[in-house]
Structure 1
Amino acid sequence: METLLQRPALLRSILIGAVVVAYLTSFSGGFVFDDHPHIVENQSLGDVSAALRSMTAISTRPITRLTLALNVATFGKHPWSFHIVNLAIHLVSVVVLFGLVRGSVVLLNKQKPTGLEPNLVGFIAAILWGLHPLGTMAVTYIIQRHESLMAMFYLLVLYCLVRARMADRSWPWYLAGIFSCWLGMGAKEVMVTAPIAAVLFDRIILSDNWRSLYRSRGWVYAVMMSPAVLLLVKVIPILLKDSSSQAGVLGTYETASPWLYLWTQSGVILHYVRLAVCPDYLTFDYDWPVASNVWEYLPSALAVVTLLGGSLWYLWRGNPLGLVAFLFFLILAPTSSVVPIIDVAFEHRMYLPLACLSTLAAVGMCYAIAWWKASESIARRHSLVLLLTVGLSLGLGLRTLQRNLDYRDEIALWTSVVESRPMNLRANHNLVNHLRAEGRSAEAEVLLKQSIGWCQQHGYETFPLEADLAELYVYEGAADLALRQFQVAVDSANTQSKKLSPYRQQVRDRQQAELHTSFGALLDMVGRPKDAAVQFDLAIAFRPDVPHWYALAGDAHRKSGNVDLALQRWKHAVDADKSMFQVARDYGMLLAGVGRYDEAVPYLESSVRKNRDDVAAAYQLIRIQAAAPSDELRQPEVALTSSLNLQKQFPQHQQELREVEAMALSQLGRFDEANSILQSLILEASNNDSATRERLQQQLAIVQQQQPIRLARKSPVSTASR
């Protein structure tokens, strides 16, 4: 054993071999979840030149984007190629951690003997971290290369400082550290903490005092921090309310307050630590509940504050273990403090902090064995530590082999989540959708019913899952069954048993609104627009901030004959969301249909500009221009020209368009021509279409009296406008 510990090259080879074996099962994995929009469906991903330009433009995470682009340009979009690169990044990080811990112990031993064998501690820390299944989300989940790449550069920054301290010429290593820091900033925003970590690392491990650090290497950290300013400029918009960048990180509709998010993270951090010790129930998507009040997570908050306070105390006293413990909290700070990210807990965030815990575990094992076997020789103690390490590594490696299989496809991934957290709504929803897409609806139904039963047994609300079950019946074509199931979900939602915090109530209201929206869509589909309108209005009552729901409600009210409410709903929708062009068009059509011509014209004009083939909108517009009651709206010459052009372009609508031509001619005093057209249209009109014949005859009587045809203030919607 002692011979092995004197051969660092062999130890590195063992590390690499062990990690490769543990991740062999990752190569069977495909693209899952966010891999699809960011890799599979990203047509420009393979453009290396564009990725290089994004670096000069200081875009978000350009370094990771560049590595993905090189991946695609070299191997195409084959999952195995991404897994190879991800594993290579992880292997580099493992080897760097070995060198970092080993070198740090060597330097500490020169200052004051620690009783630690550098190669042994470095090996234990690296192999525990490299094989730990908690790291699989950052390695096996392809798109989380952001995390693993950032971690690699983070470790390289500290490693370069150690090498610079040991080297005869330090400046090349300092430059390498600066370069690593800059590259890491382009991998993920968490890297913004690296300069702080580097300064603290230097002070505790490398320097005797702050003055010598400042004089010798102050320039290094000043240059390291310079890109952090640019990164903060990119990150700040994400934190601003209503910014376009905020939605993907902090959520579009509801975001917890920083205070409640901080309290919640105390429980999350303790859970991370528990998983580091016992990685039993690893989960891709926790859907972790935000705290309702400070008391909900008070015990965990006290525990985290105690741990953080202890690390700060030992850091203040210059203890290297205090530094390692504090770095755990520092690295987690961007995602686990006061910035209320929409997803409260994700395992990939523990990838680099886990290296800190592995290092602490390595030191703790060595000291524990030394205390326990104080009477034994050093060689004997080292052998016991290595045997314990082998046992732990074997268990961790086997768990990693197993965990990688959960990423082989979407169904395996979401099944693993539902098995560990049946109350997870997103996981159930995604699993059901993927099963249904593969024609396994019966299996999806069974799984949903099992999740509903589990939630009922353990006191969780079931109405979102019951709504998912109803939607599954819709896809199966069982409309009657779906309607009954939706009613079950509504009844369940109406029996709220306890008071919630404002944030949780907001989330629940949105879930209820989505339930009523889905129910309304089904009612509309089966020809019950009046009932559908009731459901859409309920959705609006729960969450009045979603323009799309106003659009759905407006359409349902229009179909059920409630024009006033239809106009109100559509007006709100188009005012709230200027991109709803189709709704704006329908709103304009309905305004024209009820005789509110001055309000209708802007919407109709906009619709015609956007779609030259929209004959219905064009018809209503020229009809208003030809015969509006208001002098300000009438443009008979424009209407006449447009009518003739549209007749050539859309001969199938010639009857309606010739009627508009007659209206325009009557405004221009060309009564004989208008008379001729109207008589022709009456002859052509079907005997079964009495309404059209009556309208044309009324118009003919007006023209024969040498009077212009005018639209009434209230006018029915024509056939061409439907």
Structure 2
Amino acid sequence: MTPLQSRFKITFFLMVLTAVVFLIYANGLNTPFQSDDERHIFLNLEIDNPAYYFNPEKITYRQFSLLAFALNYQWSQENPFGYHLFNILIHICTVILVFLTVFLTIKNATEWNEKGALIIATTTAFLFGLHPVQTEAVTYISGRPGVMAALFFLLSLLMFILGGLKKPSRKIPGFVFYALSLLMFFVAVLCKETAVTLPVILLLYDLYFMRGENWTAFRSRTGFYILFPIVAILIYLQSHHAFIVIGGLLEKIKFSLILLQLDILKLPIKLFLFPINLSFEYDIKSQVLLGPLLISIFGLAVALFLVIKKFYLKSSILSFSILWFLITLAPSNSIMPRIHLFSERNLYLPYFGLCLFFAIIIYLIFFKETRNKFVWGLSLLLLIGISFASLVAKRNQVYVTPSSLWADTLKKNPHNLVTGKTLSVHYLMEEKYLDALKILNDLLKIYPNHFDLHQNMGLAFKHLGDMTNAEKKFKDAISTKPKAPEAHYALASLYGTIGKPVEAIKEFDISAKLFIGHVYGPPHQFHLDKARAHNQAGIAYINSKKYEKALQQFEKSVKQNPKSLEARFNLAKLLLEFKNDKTQTAIHLKEALKLNPTPSQTQVLQNLLIQAEQ
């Protein structure tokens, strides 16, 4: 194969793969924001200020991922299409890097020829780009940090490979590639901290492959390895905040998680081989049964031994691919405590190792020596491609709405409290109140004393107009958690809606006291609702001819919401008629006239003001 033919085939394949990857992910372009997307975009105080992330003194957690979100915000604002498009393009670039990395490695570090390198690189990139498990990292906007970290991780490795290759005709010296590799490493870490494993991968790659006539001597790279701790120290001197965060994480290490993580290890392997029943969250049990764990470890060890024995390679590339998988998986599935013990999006980079492993097995069985198996191998890859593409397209449909995503998650993890609560909240937001009640009813049978379940049921009943059951559920919520300010607030709002202003005021006052010192404090709407309740109570007291109490309620209403036109008017009218306080009446009427009343309201206010000034 001539260099020109090789370049043509590589270019053609990458173009085809780019088109295929884009097409199978295209049905996810218009899916809405989900879950943590709100935290990354709407709750990010610097989202509209990309320049903030270029300040070296502000180096912080996932700096470049946050920068990517900020840039996306400049282009797309709150339209999710642009964010999804960005994720897909990053994924495509990562797939291209997978191809180039594998091609150069096989071509220069094994006994196989360029044709073998092309087949293995093609198969690896094909499996990596189309594997359905990757959908969570790509379609889920907040999966971006893992994809970006993988992009710069592989780019760093590619620069390292180019720096180590002997190329007499090359005009760029090797140290330039090493410098770029080092730079890409730190960019990767600032995308997602799991990229810290890269120095280990580089050293293993060096020991495994960078031998022989195609590579420069190991001693030429010693300076490169020394630079890692030196640059880390310089970064610490520039912004030690990042190391404070790392130190805090190290303090949380729990060695008791080792057995649990070993037990979980079978799940990513199972999902790689059989990518069905994928789930946004997994209900991982914290207790490990030793018997099944030992059987799983033994079975895995035997399988790996038989495979490596069957396909023994002098280059040891099979063992490298296994180590890649285990090492890159370690930061997210190790002795560090995590809210979610297992997430599909954390498999994005580790799956490169498994894709490479099986690409080599497929090559050795179908493509290496026997021509009569070539058609079978091609048919197998075509079948895998069609299956993967359909599974990706089907999985993307789950992201069509937040409730469809969490409904699918609950289906895969029935009776999971957190998943059920989250789904019920999305049903409430999407005004699917009967669906919310069904979920909450099922969960209450398992968790009868859970505050959020009663609270959410109360909200569902209220929106359906069933005020009796809504009141009962809000009271049940209060009985399970008496000091929850939001429970009293919900009941107060209900009383205000059904015309019980005095009862509403009582609950509002309890809620206001409980909100003092609370983590989040009352929402802005709380003050508006409380002001409205005071105003309603004032009207009720007037109807009962309790004018002093009515006056107190109107004053409280104005204090809670000075921009309440109705409360200002009611207070001014009562001050004039009950107290004959013309001075205060005039003050409130003048303030009311500043609140953009309608022409008819303006006329009423001005007539009353004339009376006050006479």
Give TM-score scaled by structure 1 length: 0.60
> Which residue pairs with 1:288 in the alignment?
284
Query: Partners of 2:519 and 2:487 in 1: how far apart?
Result: 26
- Does the CA contact (< 8 Å) of 2:137 and 2:146 recur in 1? yes
- Does the CA contact (< 8 Å) of 2:25 and 2:396 recur in 1? yes
CA shift digits 1:10-63 (9 cap, x unpaired): 11111111111111012011111110122023242120111111x443211111
Say if 2:338 is the partner of 1:341.
yes
Shift of 1:302: 4.9
Once the two structures are superposed, the pairs formed by residues 447-596 of structure 1 within 5 Å of their partners are: 447-449=439-441, 462-463=446-447, 469-475=453-459, 476-477=461-462, 481=469, 516-517=480-481
> Which residue pairs with 2:389 in the alignment?
397
Say if 2:20 is the partner of 1:18.
yes
> Which residue pairs with 2:408 in the alignment?
416
SS at structure 2 position matched to 1:14: helix
Once the two structures are superposed, the pairs formed by residues 669-708 of structure 1 within 5 Å of their partners are: none
> Which residue pairs with 1:156 in the alignment?
155
> Which residue pairs with 1:617 in the alignment?
none
Letter in 2 for 1:85: F
SS at structure 1 position matched to 2:46: coil
Query: Partners of 1:523 and 1:233 in 2: how far apart?
Result: 38
Once the two structures are superposed, the pairs formed by residues 259-274 of structure 1 within 5 Å of their partners are: 259-274=255-270
SS at structure 2 position matched to 1:344: coil
Say if 2:403 is the partner of 1:443.
no
Shift of 1:296: 7.1
Query: Partners of 1:204 and 1:126 in 2: how far apart?
Result: 21
Shift of 1:415: 1.2
CA shift digits 1:259-280 (9 cap, x unpaired): 3422222232211111111111
- How many percent identity over aligned positions? 21
Structure with greater Cα Rg: 1
> Which residue pairs with 1:80 in the alignment?
81
Say if 2:222 is the partner of 1:218.
yes
Shift of 1:370: 5.0
**Greater displacement, 335-344 / 307-316:** 307-316
> Which residue pairs with 2:31 in the alignment?
29
Letter in 2 for 1:390: L
Gap regions ≥5 residues in structure 1? 242-256, 453-460, 491-512, 528-554, 560-566, 583-651, 654-683, 685-722
Does the C-alpha gap of structure 1 residues 405 and 422 become closer, same or farther in structure 2, counting only changes over 3 Å?
A: same
- Does the CA contact (< 8 Å) of 1:312 and 1:326 recur in 2? no
CA shift digits 1:513-545 (9 cap, x unpaired): 999327988997899xxxxxxxxxxxxxxxxxx
Count how many residue pairs are aligned between Structure 1 and Structure 2: 490
Once the two structures are superposed, the pairs formed by residues 102-121 of structure 1 within 5 Å of their partners are: 102-109=103-110, 112-113=111-112, 117-121=116-120
SS at structure 1 position matched to 2:278: coil
Question: Which of 45, 48, 53 is the matching residue for 2:47?
Answer: 45
CA shift digits 1:259-310 (9 cap, x unpaired): 3422222232211111111111111111322126756744445556778999
Does the C-alpha gap of structure 1 residues 353 and 526 become closer, same or farther in structure 2, counting only changes over 3 Å?
A: closer
> Of the two structures, which has the highest relative contact order with CA contacts closer than 8 Å and spacing of 6 or more?
2
CA shift digits 1:576-631 (9 cap, x unpaired): x897999xxxxxxxxxxxxxxxxxxxxxxxxxxxxxxxxxxxxxxxxxxxxxxxxx
> Which residue pairs with 2:134 in the alignment?
135
Query: Partners of 1:382 and 1:524 in 2: how far apart?
Result: 71
> Which residue pairs with 2:125 in the alignment?
126
CA shift digits 1:85-128 (9 cap, x unpaired): 1111111110010011111110123xx34897111110111011
**Greater displacement, 145-154 / 263-272:** 263-272
Query: Partners of 1:420 and 1:296 in 2: how far apart?
Result: 22
> Which residue pairs with 1:386 in the alignment?
378
> Which residue pairs with 1:61 in the alignment?
62
- Does the CA contact (< 8 Å) of 2:449 and 2:480 recur in 1? no
SS at structure 2 position matched to 1:117: helix
Question: Which of 181, 199, 221 is the matching residue for 1:177?
Answer: 181
SS at structure 1 position matched to 2:90: helix
Letter in 2 for 1:516: T
Letter in 1 for 2:327: L
> Which residue pairs with 1:602 in the alignment?
none
CA shift digits 1:457-485 (9 cap, x unpaired): xxxx8116976553333212467657988
Does the C-alpha gap of structure 1 residues 345 and 106 become closer, same or farther in structure 2, counting only changes over 3 Å?
A: same
Letter in 1 for 2:179: L
- Does the CA contact (< 8 Å) of 1:29 and 1:79 recur in 2? yes
Shift of 1:163: 2.3
SS at structure 2 position matched to 1:139: helix
